[in-house]
Amino acid sequence: MARIADLLAAGRTWSFEFLPPKSDEEQATLVRALHDLEPLRPSFVSVTYRGGPASRTRTFNLVTGMLHVTTLLPMAHLTCVGHSRLELAEILVEYRKGGIENLMALGGDLPEAGRGTPGELRHAVELVELARAVGGFSVGVAAHPAGHPASPDLDADRAFLAAKLAQADFAVTQFFFDADQYRRLVDDLDRRGLRKPVLPGIMPVTSLTSIPRMAAMGSPVPGRVRDRLEAAGASGGDAAVRSEGVAMATELCQELLAAGAPGLHFYTLNRSTATREIYRALGLAPSLSATG
């Protein structure tokens, strides 16, 4: 099994992110997306962790299933929230026994009052340290070009990121819409002595209704992007908005690659069409159909 750190050392990587399904309907949607995206031959794929025992099982089953029945190289997400140190160590050992060598170590969102426990480890850097103690993992961490919503300010956020990236192998950013944000993030880390790969996260805006949700996730859509989408919608309706969103995501990818990004990481939301369209526009998979 390949380690993501080694893939990044060898050249650019192209990766997709999936959500573990919570129902039979979501399972069917995910299966279709995997069927459509596997031929693109991504460098690796990641599977998120929604928290709780059920999500733990779904993520484990999906990641190990990908490893054994597909050509995909999976990376498992794991969060500190809701687990003791011992539970996290047991999960890590379980993954190693299952053949999983790639891990995304996350702090996780704190639960609302009365809805679960925050966990014994409070920060992602502690989970990175635990993964290193277990051994055998290539470890990634999350980065936020605009700063994590819970950070007191951008400088503090960068300091937290530098601390965990110093012990990890690479970072993957939250999705964003301005290439300059990514450049500033990388330059800031460089000034702090961190030159490890930072993969930019990409998620096209394919509907006007998704804009508030993206802001709630800590990635507000800039006014210039909103203006282009609204203009497209006014002239061509929902289909035009979607097309414009894919076009802008493609432009962002081109800027990032020109700026030296070590690859691209696509947030798929378990859908395939937009990702395939961007791939084709970038010339990464020119022979693949974007229909379906």
What positions carry a catalytic annotation? 17
- How far apart, in whole angstroms, are the C-alpha atoms of residue 161 and residue 170? 11
Q: Which residues are 14's β-sheet partners?
A: 264
Report the 3 state secondary structure along 132-166.
Answer: HHHCCCEEEEEECCCCCCCCCCHHHHHHHHHHHHC
Residues 6+ apart with CB under 8 A from 61: none
What b/e readout covers 83-121, taking b as 16+ CB neighbours within 10 angstroms? beeeebeebbeebbeeebbbbbbbbbebeeeeeeeebeb
Q: Which amino acid is located at 164 in the chain?
A: K
Do 50 and 19 form a contact (C-beta atoms < 8 A)? yes
Q: Residue 127: what residue type?
A: L
Distances in Å between the Cα of 112 and the Cα atoms of 89, 216, 251 are 25, 16, 38
**Element at 93 (helix H, strand E):** helix 85-97
* Segment (H or E) for 99: none
